[in-house]
Structure 1
Amino acid sequence: MSDAVESGEVRSEQEMLSAWVVEPPKLTGPVRIDDYDPAWPALFEREAARIRSILGDRVVLLEHVGSTSVPGLAAKPIIDILLVVPDSADEASYVTPLEAHGYTLVIREPDWYEHRCLKGPDTNINLHVHFPSSPEIERNLMFRDWLRAHDDDRELYERTKRDLSTKGFTYIQEYADAKTEVVTAIMARAQAARA
């Protein structure tokens, strides 16, 4: 669960909290939205190299996703990374080696495409882990690529994010869920163009 594109499903607070392996952080003020930082792709590349060095051929796909992957788009300064492994339910095959290098498993969602999320040892990241046939892979890549190519939707998304950032949410997932309507509309345009 994060600023990466979700399936459009808004979950109850209890469902959201039950996915957390650790105590979910509470917001103490507005959601921080920064202007686009050209250093974000380099932070992704550094993290991707580290992940590849730890997991080797267990990495099926590793992509920069979320708002920091879209040049010109303001974002929470958190690098969203999509990691695809052969079996995201097999935590011993990737969580254990990542934890040995300072990563922390924070979210476990076996009922939502076996999604896992880890935080990094020294860079603020959300490492989203899926198995190869998860529909979230295509959703995240399609959304990223559409925003990279369509200024009008990128600007709409940024306005929405900035407007919602001051709404006084308790958890960051509430902010992400509040973007569902605009994300769904943008995804519909991307899917229609692809069809």
Structure 2
Amino acid sequence: MTKRKPRRADVSTLDLVGGPERVVVGLHEPDRQWAEAFREHRRRILEALTEADVEVEHIGSTSVPGLAAKPIIDILVTVDDITAEEDYLDALLAAGYELRVREPGHRLVRTPARDVHVHVFEHEDAAVQEYLLFRDHLRSDAADRDLYERTKRELIARSWDDMNDYADAKTEVILAIKARARAARDARRDDGTAQ
């Protein structure tokens, strides 16, 4: 897939619609309904974006079987051109999602109940592969899955004025897990077992 030059300049700052929000949800034990909720929203997104070339993936903790998570379904949608909001944003808003974040290279819409977050990136954005690398590693590595869950449990027990601060506090552990995920992926490639 050839990366297309954006039709216009992207936004240059973060627009957090509604401002900071307190973290008010705790971790829930793994729930098989999360996969069903993803499938329902995937269908809804694809129906809304019939005119766009999109990919839709389940990411985040609810996409990892056996992992405790905040009961928020994170969905990754990739588009050709993040700056061409008319190709995807209006349709997602018409499908019942609300704009929460507009920042360089990324848009986030969510349900009014705030239980589904849809992250929109361009197909070739490096963040896309990072999300998938992390998800796939946690799905296959029990030790890192347990480490990540312990970290989340420790952090969610604290009081956070903004959900983004809670997310930022996990960064060090996430980076360490991603480093191990890359090393494992590269070792499989060297062995010829990578797909």
> Per-residue CA shift, 1:134-167, capped at 9, x if unaligned?
1011000010000000000000000000000012
| Alpha-carbon contact 2:20-2:163 (below 8 Å) kept | no
What is the rounded CA distance, in whole Å, between the counterparts of 1:171 and 1:38 in structure 2? 28
| Alpha-carbon contact 2:44-2:95 (below 8 Å) kept | no
**For residue 38 of structure 1, what is the amino acid of its counterpart?**
R
Query: Does 2:54 match 1:63?
Result: no
Higher RCO, Cα 8 Å, sep 6+ = 1
Q: Which has the larger radius of gyration?
A: 2
1:56-135 mapped onto 2 (5 Å cutoff) = 56-110=50-104, 114-121=105-112, 124-135=115-126
Normalising by structure 1, we get a TM-score of 0.84
What is the rounded CA distance, in whole Å, between the counterparts of 1:35 and 1:43 in structure 2? 16
Segments of 5+ residues of structure 2 without an aligned counterpart are 1-12, 187-195
Normalising by structure 2, we get a TM-score of 0.84
Query: Taking structure 1 as reference, are residues 47 and 63 closer, same or farther at Cα in structure 2, changes over 3 Å only?
Result: same
| Alpha-carbon contact 1:117-1:127 (below 8 Å) kept | yes
| Alpha-carbon contact 1:117-1:126 (below 8 Å) kept | yes
What's the counterpart of residue 40 of structure 1?
A: 34
Query: Taking structure 1 as reference, are residues 46 and 123 closer, same or farther at Cα in structure 2, changes over 3 Å only?
Result: farther
1:141-152 mapped onto 2 (5 Å cutoff) = 141-152=132-143
User: Which of 160, 175, 189 is residue 184 of structure 1 equivalent to?
Assistant: 175
> Per-residue CA shift, 1:114-135, capped at 9, x if unaligned?
1000012567111000001110
The SS at the match of 2:96 is: coil
Name segments (4+ residues, structure 1) moved above 4 Å: none
> What percentage of aligned pairs have identical amino acids?
45
CA RMSD across the alignment: 1.6
User: Which of 12, 19, 23 is residue 23 of structure 1 equivalent to?
Assistant: 19
